[in-house]
Structure 1
């Protein structure tokens, strides 16, 4: 591994961390914990709701974290549970009217900001950014798990 690769890894991770801190600060400014904001974002765009397993997959959070967040959303009246028609053992988490109202502005604002930030790139730059970010994430996953990437 050369010096430039270490420098670029540092910069890439620094920018990623800066983005995460931006999301965290924005969530806090709106009175929402970051992990709750991630769940709210997933639920907001899942009009038919989601079961907790799907929320975990979409938000990359643990079952315990999602379970606690859902319990809080239920207690605060922002979410409700409905029976899953495909699997009666599972419950679908959905926003209540109050949940939609509470989360609509902050979720839409962050999504629109992301969309506009991406639109400032050319189509080619957008595709390249997504492609390279995906590849970096896959390489990192393999290396963290102790797997070889096959990349040089």
Structure 2
């Protein structure tokens, strides 16, 4: 599970990632969460039922997301994906830079990707058009995409 949005923040995406992780752990899947640092929360932490959380040493840039660079995340993300023997990367939220970058790195390593879009956009205003174009490029070879609803 990868997202810029995870505990200690509280919200729908954060809760969804945590609950889905707990359900998968109960079904004997190995689940880890990758997110960015929150204040002094850096490194590896463990939550309920042994959920392993990597708080990468990247500080939020805007709206609790990291600065989009693509290349600066390669060393840490690649190391985690290989060391943990990850077989599926599940990114969450259209606004999560870390999710999109990690999914890109996973694809270069031949790892399957899943993306859950928690915030769907319209089609009429400029912001929605630009966001949809970014998603179109980012998700072009994603193996599965999950959307929470249809926007009218």
| TM-score of the pair, normalised by structure 1 | 0.27
Q: Between Structure 1 and Structure 2, which shows a larger proportion of strand residues?
A: 2
| TM-score of the pair, normalised by structure 2 | 0.27
Q: Between Structure 1 and Structure 2, which shows a larger proportion of helix residues?
A: 1
Max Rg structure: 1
